Structure 1
């Protein structure tokens, strides 16, 4: 009997893990008052940038004594700025369990060449042993593994009396998961993830302990201009007072302001977290009753509620070699893309073959419910094609 495609498609088929879906109801009209053609250093320009900083503090519930800056090059730029500016004062523990964490390991071990960097790793689908971390060291980690769908469940494993700094890449966790700022000295993210903002701008948040390190320690290596956070041994406060290091896009600033105002109107941080949790539950309930699919993350408490990574576990699939498995899932993704049922849901290029579905708060639960029959249709279609080819 021929397969029949589902009759209903998601109202919004954008399930990319970055840039992510725009907030519900978004139109380009929200950008009509953006200060295009104006200097970002003009009085109104700085006022809009400051508004974005203030809204970030309010919606993300950032402590009053933490500093917030908008920096170049998305979350990557914010992380790199922290690594190059802060590390080297003491040994560092690098945690890695997916692609971006591995990238920070490469930067520290091969670019900064820190001899006293210790790497604590785990494979895709797992967390490393957090009990191995030495908090006399600096610690670098991702809160939520965007490419593995594995997150730390909370901040309880981080020592409150730590001597080192904790540098946290929170790019797909911010606004969707409960970041414990009392345990975090540096937090980075970009609006393009959980808020569906536009790319190219990062957010850098510093605790008083991180500021003290910046003002008491000078790295032995030269720092590019876009990484410099101090001058004459003092913090460049203007970076955290709306005078960005380089020219930001006022369109991006305006879009971020719109997204955060939407988040506050929805009920604030807890409401956004609840939306992401509800979206995750839609997928989790389906996975539980669907025998051919499972989470890449092995432990339930460690499963992301934003970058949900899934593995095909049907025997016909697992019997294939890695190349054939990748071809199978790519064919599923292409089929869904062609039908305009789901865009950009393939696993990250370095991750095991599978699916990755963004379920953050800007995604509507009804769109996810409509997606699930399409996933089943795409799987059955590719499984039938596999059987026919055999």
Structure 2
């Protein structure tokens, strides 16, 4: 195949978006046939479904029995904000940021909650902050997997078991694909729309006993909107963690999440999901290894995400261009594949460096990732030819 010959095989599923992500293999609308539509979520049938979603989450993620799991509104963002507004302020806080979502949590804590004793530990895109500098007498807020940078923490070994503060972890693009050590995490949040390909607008909030103790012993200095309130009369509202949601959930989305969790069980649970994601990442990694024009945005191989794989163009003819021209070149690759129905939504996040972002979570098939790599080479060739012609 010459550089401009289109590859023979297309990905069967062109959905490589980093959220909402591809539906599970074989998914059809028929999977939602048992959704109790037109029924109250507070009716028995609704409560049973919500409790099933919580129980299946515990089973697939191996969440400890003494951790609470709640379904909350506003996706992962809502779950993180609920934790920040309800738990922070009792002691200083270390804010870790190395990509746009982590930076967003910094903005909320510093400019909205106005915590004067917030300490920022940050790093540029492609790197992690120096984790040895974290003060665990403080509360700590971090993303496990930087969705917009493709950089993840490799493990939880840097978190001590005898910490004094709480660890608040945004795990939305890590849950169901990476090993979360719950013994080191006091708050874990994620959304249905990431690794399991569920529908948007619903978040999950997982609390350790230490987090519950903080909620019941500490009252923030600021007022809490109803949608954030996890306690009443100084006690945890247990119903939230039994399926009595704060606001009205979509029972259609709940049914879809249950379907995704049952599929997760069918492929081997958490181990099977991690294996699928790793296999997808390896298909990308082998291609990057043999391809001169592209590289990972994440500098350290140990920190490279197996879900939100972020890539940069390293062709000297492109890196020597002004920043806006580099961005246009990467956009030409992504838009060319989207127009052809080959791959959707693979451009870098708007705040990230110019490049590509390819979702490799468990609902994606490795054969589709392998097929995509050939089309990436083709699209690069087309874009490079246009660049050369313009010069």
Please tell me the TM-score bracket, short chain as reference.
Answer: over 0.9
Task: Map 1:1-390 to 2 at 5 A.
Answer: 3-390=4-391
| CA–CA separation in structure 2 for the residues paired with 1:316 and 1:197 | 40
* Residue-by-residue CA offset, 1:84-137 (whole Å, 9 max, x unaligned): 000000000000000000000000000000000000000000000000100000
Query: RMSD of the alignment, in Å?
Result: 0.7
Q: 1:2 to 1:219 in 2, by over 3 A?
A: closer
The TM-score, its normalising length taken from structure 2, stands at 0.99
Shift of 1:389: 0.3
Gaps of 5+ in 1: none
* Residue-by-residue CA offset, 1:215-240 (whole Å, 9 max, x unaligned): 00000000000000001100011110
Asked if the contact 2:3/2:377 (under 8 Å) is kept, the reply is no
* Residue-by-residue CA offset, 1:199-253 (whole Å, 9 max, x unaligned): 0000000000000000000000000000000011000111101100000000110
Q: Secondary structure at the match of 1:71?
A: strand
| CA–CA separation in structure 2 for the residues paired with 1:48 and 1:323 | 49
* Residue-by-residue CA offset, 1:235-294 (whole Å, 9 max, x unaligned): 011110110000000011000000000000111101100110111000001100101000
The TM-score, its normalising length taken from structure 1, stands at 0.99
Runs (4+) off by over 6 Å: none
| CA–CA separation in structure 1 for the residues paired with 2:59 and 2:86 | 27
| CA–CA separation in structure 1 for the residues paired with 2:22 and 2:151 | 21
| CA–CA separation in structure 1 for the residues paired with 2:280 and 2:122 | 29
Give the paired residue count: 390
| CA–CA separation in structure 2 for the residues paired with 1:353 and 1:36 | 43
Shift of 1:8: 1.3
| CA–CA separation in structure 2 for the residues paired with 1:163 and 1:3 | 59
Q: Secondary structure at the match of 1:77?
A: helix
